[in-house]
């Protein structure tokens, strides 16, 4: 198919806490053949709040609020889902 005619699709990213390896394994098995889904294991440790410099916070602007919400959801629920616009993987 001609790439210029390809319809953009929505990408879905699952972020799973490293404390929820059971969920990560189940999602990996269920989603392995889904071309528009990514599965990410969050291996960051500890509380990430307050470690940024004022320059980094200013540069990110509104993106920081979204990142904080995602971090909070992963911390509280053990996982989060992001829906991103984008083209299908090749």
Is the pLDDT at 60 greater than 60? The verdict is no
Give residue 47's pLDDT band: very low, low, confident or very high (50, 70, 90). Answer: low
Rounded to the nearest 10°, the torsion over CA 81, 83, 84, 85 is 170
> According to the model, what pLDDT value does residue 54 have?
46
DSSP letter at 36 equals: T
Q: pLDDT per residue over 1-24, tens digit each?
A: 555 555 557 789 999 999 999 999
Give residue 53's pLDDT band: very low, low, confident or very high (50, 70, 90). Answer: very low
Per-residue burial over 47-84, b = 16 or more CB atoms within 10 Å of its CB, e = otherwise: eeeeeeeeeeeeeeeeeeeeeeebbebbeeebbbeeee
- Other CB atoms within 10 A of residue 23 CB: 15
Its pTM stands at 0.64
Please report, rounded to a whole number, the percentage of residues in the chain having pLDDT higher than 70: 61
């Amino acid at each position: 198919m001609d790439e210029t005619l390809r319809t953009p699709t929505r990408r879905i990213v699952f972020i799973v806490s490293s404390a929820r390896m059971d969920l990560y394994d189940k999602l990996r098995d269920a989603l392995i053949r889904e071309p528009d889904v990514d599965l990410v294991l969050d291996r960051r440790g500890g509380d990430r709040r307050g470690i940024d410099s004022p320059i980094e916070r200013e540069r990110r602007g509104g993106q920081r609020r979204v990142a904080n919400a995602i971090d909070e959801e992963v911390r509280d629920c053990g996982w989060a889902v992001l829906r991103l616009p984008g083209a299908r993987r090749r």
